[in-house]
Structure 1
C-alpha cells in the first residue's frame, strides 16, 4: 500500500492550518464588523467565541482526520461503520467535500480579482481611476460575467500547481513562505498607518467600549459568525489537514496556535484598515469586495506613498487568499485520490477542469453563490462532522484520539462541551444565517 502523504513537521502543519483560516473574512469583513458593532464591545464576544470554537471544533476536526487518516467521506464512513451504516456515512461525507469544491470555485473568482489588482498595483493600473466612482466602475466591469477570465485562470493554475506537489512538498512549503510574508507585510502596513495624521482616532474607534453594544444581540451573533467562519470549520479543510498529521503531534496545542494566529491576522487587518480610513475622516461601514477593490484603493491613492502601500497590501492579500484556496481544493482532490485510486496529478487535473469551467461561468453571480455556501453548506458540514465524531464515535474514541501525542490528558470537560455546546452551536449558526441572510 502506498504511504500516505503527510506534513514534514509540526510548524508546517500549523502554518498550513493558519493559512486555511486566514482569508478574506479576516481582511474585508472583520474590520467592518469591529467598526459597526462597538469596537472593543465586539472584540470581547469575538475572543470568547474564538476560544470556544478553537478548542472544540478545530480540535475535533483535526483529531477526526488524524484518527481515520482520510478525508470526510471515509471518515464519516468509518464513524457510521460502528453502526453498520458505512455507505450512509460515506454519502453524508460527500456534503462537506462538495461544499469545499463549490467554495473553492467561488474563491477562485475572488482570487482572480486579487491577482489582477496585485499586478495592477505594480503597473499602476489598479490606482488609475480618478475617484471612488471610477474605482467602482472598474471593479464592476471586472466582477461582471466573463469579466476577468485570464487572471482567474492564472490564479487557478498557481493554486493547482502547488497542490500537484502534494502535502509536504507543495502545501507545506508554500505556506511556510506565504504566511510569514503575509504577517510581515501587514505589520509593515500597520506601522506605516500608525504614523499618518488622524490614525489615533481609528485606534480609539477600535478599542472603544460601548455598553449598549453588549445589549444588542447582533453584536454577539455577528461575533459568533465571524469566529465560526474565520476558523475554517466546515467538516472538510481542517479535517483533511488533520489526516496528514503524525500521531506524535499535540492537536490541542496546535489548535490553540491556529486560533491565536488567525486572531492576530484579523487584528492586524483591523489595525491597518480602520486607522487608514480614519485618516480621511471616513467611518468604516462598507465590508466585502467593495471595501477591498473600491474604497481602499481610492484611499491608498490619496495617501503619501500610496502606490507602495497598494503593492504591499495586495501582495499580502494574495498570499492569504492563495493559502485558503489550496486548503479548499485539498478535500475534493484527496477524495478523488481515495475513491477513484488515481494519482495526485491526475486528481488535481480533474478538479482543475471542473473548477475552470464552473468558475468562468459563475463570475457574474459569485456573490450569491458564496452566500448560499456560507449560509447553508459550511455550518451544515461542521455540524455533521461534529455529530459523527462526538455523537457517533463516542466518548472513549474521542478522548483517545484527542490525547494521542500529548504528555498529559486534555481536560475532561472537552467531550461534554463539544457534544452539548459545540454541536448545537453549528446548527444555531445555520439557523441564524438563514434568518439573517448570513452571519459569516
Structure 2
C-alpha cells in the first residue's frame, strides 16, 4: 500500500491531461449547440473573449491552489487558511467540488454509454448483425446499464494506474486521436451541399446581438463549465505539476487548446446541421429556434449519416468514436478528484480507492437510470447550473481574499521568475479578487 503522490512527467503530458479534462461532451457538442441557439457567430465571439478574460484567470486560481498545496483539493485549500472558520470553509469548497465531480461523472457515464452503443452500432450494421443493431439503436434499461458500467470500468482502469502511467499516458494517446478524427470529419462535411451556408452562420457575426445579456451569460457559463472549473479537478491537476514549471504559460496552453477544440467542433457541427437540412432533415422551428436541442446529437446526425448511404456507417462510427474519446478524457479527471482525496485522507492504495469510488459512482448511475425521468435532469442541473459556478466563485474568493498577496505572487513566480515583470503579474491578483467572483456570481444568479 502506498500513497506516494504522482507527478506529470512533462509539460506536454500535463497540457494533454488538463485539456482532456476540459475537452469533453460539453465542448464537442455543448458549445456548437449553444452557438446554434444563441446567434451563431455572435456567441462564438463572446465566448472567445470571455474565455480568456474570465475563465483563464479563474483556471489559474485553481492551478495555483493545487501546486502550492501539493495535496488533494480539501488539504490544498486548508493550507491557505489561518483560522478554524476558514478551515471549515475550505472543507466545504474542496469537498463540495469532489462531490460535484462524482455526481457529474455519474450522469456523464450514462451519456457516454449512449455514445459507446452508437459507436458499436455501425459495426454491427456493416457485419449484418441485425438483432444486435436493433438492440443497440433502441433505448432500453439493460443496454444503458451495460454500457454505463463498461464506461465506468474503463475509466477506473486508467485512473488505477496513477498519474504518469494512467492519466498522462492515456491523455497523450486519446487527445491526438480526438483531433485526428475531428479534422477528418470536418474535411468530409465541407464537401457536402449546405456546408458553406452553415460556415457563414458560424463565422459571420451579427454585431447587433453581441451585447444581448442572455447571450453573454450563456457564453460566460460555457467558458467556465468547459474548463472543468468548480469541480476540484484543476486543483488536483495543479498539485501534480512540478515547481519548476511555468504555471502562467501552462494555464494559457490549456485554455487555448480548450477554446481551439470547441471552435473546431463548431466547424464540424454547425455546417453538418445545414448539410442535414439541405438533405431534408428538420433542424429549426418556424421561429428559427433549434429543435431537439438536448438530444440533437442522437436525432439529427444519425439522420444525416443515414442519408449518406454506405459511407454514412463509417462517418457515423468516426463521429461517435470521437464523442466517446471526448467523454473518456473528461471522466478520467472527474474520477481522479474523489480518488486523490480517498488515497490521502484514508491511506488507501490507489487501486483499492479507485475501485471503491468507481463502485459508488456506479450505484449513483444505476439509481439515476432506474429513476431516469425524475433524477437525470435534476442531477445535471444541480451540478452544472448550481454547483460549478458557486464553487468556482468560492475558489476565486479564496485566492483573492484569504491568501496573502505576497505568498500568492511567490507561488506564481516558482518556475518563472520573469513573470514579475509582466502585465499578468500586476493585474491578475486584483482581477481574481474583484472581477472574476462578480462574473461567476452573475452566472450563478442567472441559473437561479
User: By the TM > 0.5 criterion, same fold?
Assistant: yes
Shift in alpha-carbon separation, 1:127–1:268, aligned structure 2, 3 A: farther
Shift in alpha-carbon separation, 1:273–1:390, aligned structure 2, 3 A: same
d(CA) in 2 for partners of 1:357, 1:8: 34
* TM-score (norm: length of structure 2): 0.90
- Look up the match of 1:141: 139
d(CA) in 1 for partners of 2:233, 2:57: 16
The one-character-per-residue Cα deviations of 1:175-211 (angstroms, maximum 9, x if unpaired) are: 0010000011000000111111221111111112213
- Look up the match of 1:188: 184
The one-character-per-residue Cα deviations of 1:113-168 (angstroms, maximum 9, x if unpaired) are: 11111111322299999xxxxx9x987724xx565111111111000000000010
- Look up the match of 1:331: 337
Specify which of 186, 198, 204 is matched with residue 200 of structure 2.
204
Shift in alpha-carbon separation, 1:83–1:421, aligned structure 2, 3 A: farther
Question: Structure 2: 5+ residue runs without aligned partners?
Answer: 285-289
Secondary structure of 2:79 counterpart: helix
Shift in alpha-carbon separation, 1:28–1:125, aligned structure 2, 3 A: farther
- Look up the match of 1:290: 295
- Look up the match of 1:419: 433
Secondary structure of 1:38 counterpart: coil
**Contact 1:163–1:330 (CA<8 Å) still a contact in 2?**
yes
| Superposition deviation, residue 173 in structure 1 | 0.5
Specify which of 227, 232, 238 is matched with residue 231 of structure 1.
227
Secondary structure of 1:278 counterpart: helix
**Contact 2:28–2:326 (CA<8 Å) still a contact in 1?**
no
- Look up the match of 1:321: 327
User: Which is worse superposed, 68-77 or 156-165?
Assistant: 68-77
- Look up the match of 1:301: 306
Specify which of 246, 249, 252 is matched with residue 248 of structure 2.
252
Shift in alpha-carbon separation, 1:139–1:56, aligned structure 2, 3 A: farther
Shift in alpha-carbon separation, 1:378–1:195, aligned structure 2, 3 A: same
- Look up the match of 1:438: none
| Superposition deviation, residue 85 in structure 1 | 4.3
Secondary structure of 2:376 counterpart: helix
Moved >6 Å (runs of 4+): 125-129, 137-140
* TM-score (norm: length of structure 1): 0.91
| Superposition deviation, residue 390 in structure 1 | 2.0
Are residues 1:370 and 2:380 paired? yes
Specify which of 341, 345, 351 is matched with residue 347 of structure 2.
341
Question: Structure 1: 5+ residue runs without aligned partners?
Answer: 130-134, 435-440
Shift in alpha-carbon separation, 1:297–1:3, aligned structure 2, 3 A: same
d(CA) in 1 for partners of 2:88, 2:364: 29
User: Which is worse superposed, 403-412 or 241-250?
Assistant: 403-412
**Contact 1:18–1:261 (CA<8 Å) still a contact in 2?**
yes
Are residues 1:42 and 2:38 paired? no
**Contact 1:37–1:213 (CA<8 Å) still a contact in 2?**
no
Name the count of aligned residue pairs: 427
| Superposition deviation, residue 288 in structure 1 | 5.3
d(CA) in 2 for partners of 1:126, 1:153: 25
**Contact 2:273–2:300 (CA<8 Å) still a contact in 1?**
no
Secondary structure of 2:241 counterpart: coil
The one-character-per-residue Cα deviations of 1:42-92 (angstroms, maximum 9, x if unpaired) are: 121111111023431111111110000112211222122356743553244
Shift in alpha-carbon separation, 1:9–1:216, aligned structure 2, 3 A: same
- Look up the match of 2:287: none
**Contact 1:28–1:289 (CA<8 Å) still a contact in 2?**
no
- Look up the match of 2:409: 399
Specify which of 210, 216, 222 is matched with residue 214 of structure 1.
210
The one-character-per-residue Cα deviations of 1:354-410 (angstroms, maximum 9, x if unpaired) are: 111111110213232111111111112112222222211121122111221114124
d(CA) in 2 for partners of 1:127, 1:366: 34
**Contact 1:182–1:319 (CA<8 Å) still a contact in 2?**
yes
Shift in alpha-carbon separation, 1:180–1:433, aligned structure 2, 3 A: same
**Contact 2:3–2:347 (CA<8 Å) still a contact in 1?**
no
d(CA) in 2 for partners of 1:295, 1:84: 52
d(CA) in 1 for partners of 2:20, 2:44: 22
- Look up the match of 1:437: none
d(CA) in 2 for partners of 1:287, 1:223: 20
**Contact 1:109–1:366 (CA<8 Å) still a contact in 2?**
no
Cα RMSD, aligned residues only: 2.4
Secondary structure of 1:79 counterpart: coil
d(CA) in 2 for partners of 1:360, 1:225: 29
Are residues 1:158 and 2:159 paired? no
